[in-house]
Amino acid sequence: MQSTNVGDALDAFFRYCAGDQACATAYPDLAATYRETVSGLARAPLIVTVPPEMHLPDDRASLTSTLFETLVSRLIYYPAAYPSLPRLIATVHDGDSQGLGKVLASALAAAAAEVNYATNVAVECRDRPHYRDPLPAGSSVLDRLQHYGVCDGWSELGPAPLVPIGTAVPTLVLAGEFDPVARPSFSQHVAALIGPN
């Protein structure tokens, strides 16, 4: 499921930070900081001043744990956001809302500009049979952002992807270390199915 993939991508990102001397020095145990931030926001949301273009009452937003998890899960899609992600997590953890509104506005604008919702749903519904099921009980925040219950009325399920098993044609299979859509293990599985060539 998508939420598991995003969680795996974040875990990989946190492991990378722990193994990078500069990141680990500046942000020791980023994974724990993230978990503490989510828990803290669940108890007491952080009030953030946002730019007027967000059209919110009093130009203020309540950064809840749900909104924070959504923001981080969106940012992991964009490699350009990686250098600032540890600082963002630490800033929210410390309750510092200074400048956070601009980050929220730009992240939401980037997500809206990058993804055509209708096209995304059509592709996801065609390729992912589990979205035809109802939302699983006890679903996480990230599960609730997915297309459960939408696909039956959207598009037909497409055929399973074809993997050229045993081909003699050299085939390059790519994987992103922090890919929130397809784990590197998926690409390794496809490469194993194709076999040596």
Q: Would you list the domain boundaries of the chain? A: 2-114, 161-197
Q: Which two tokens stand for residue 15?
A: 């492991």
Angle at 55 (CA atoms; ends 53, 57), nearest 5 degrees: 135
3-class SS shares of the chain: helix, strand, coil, % to 5 = 60, 5, 35
Would you say 128 and 120 are in contact if contact means Cβ atoms under 8 Å apart?
no
Q: Within a 10 A sphere around the Cβ of 64, how many other Cβ atoms?
A: 16
| Chain centroid offset of residue 20 CA | 22
Q: How far apart are CA 60 and CA 54, in angstroms?
A: 9
- Which CA distances in Å does 184 have to 72, 113, 181? 20, 26, 10
pLDDT at 188: 86
Determine the straight-line distance between the first and last CA of the chain, rounded to whole angstroms: 31
**Which distant-in-sequence residues (6+ apart) come within 8 Å of 170 by Cβ?**
197
Task: Of 3, 30, 7, 5, give the one whose Cα is nearest residue 85.
Answer: 30
**Which tokens sit at 52?**
């007027």
The pLDDT assigned to 113 comes to 63
Regions of the chain where pLDDT drops below 50: 1-2
Q: Give pTM, 2 decimals.
A: 0.69
- pLDDT for 40 equals 96
Q: Which pLDDT score is estimated for 1?
A: 36
Both tokens of 184, joined, read 């590197």
Give the residue from 94, 104, 90, 11 showing the smallest Cα distance to 51.
Answer: 104
Could you tell me the two tokens for 111?
A: 């997500």
Question: What confidence score (pLDDT) does residue 142 get?
Answer: 55
> How high is the pLDDT of residue 2?
41
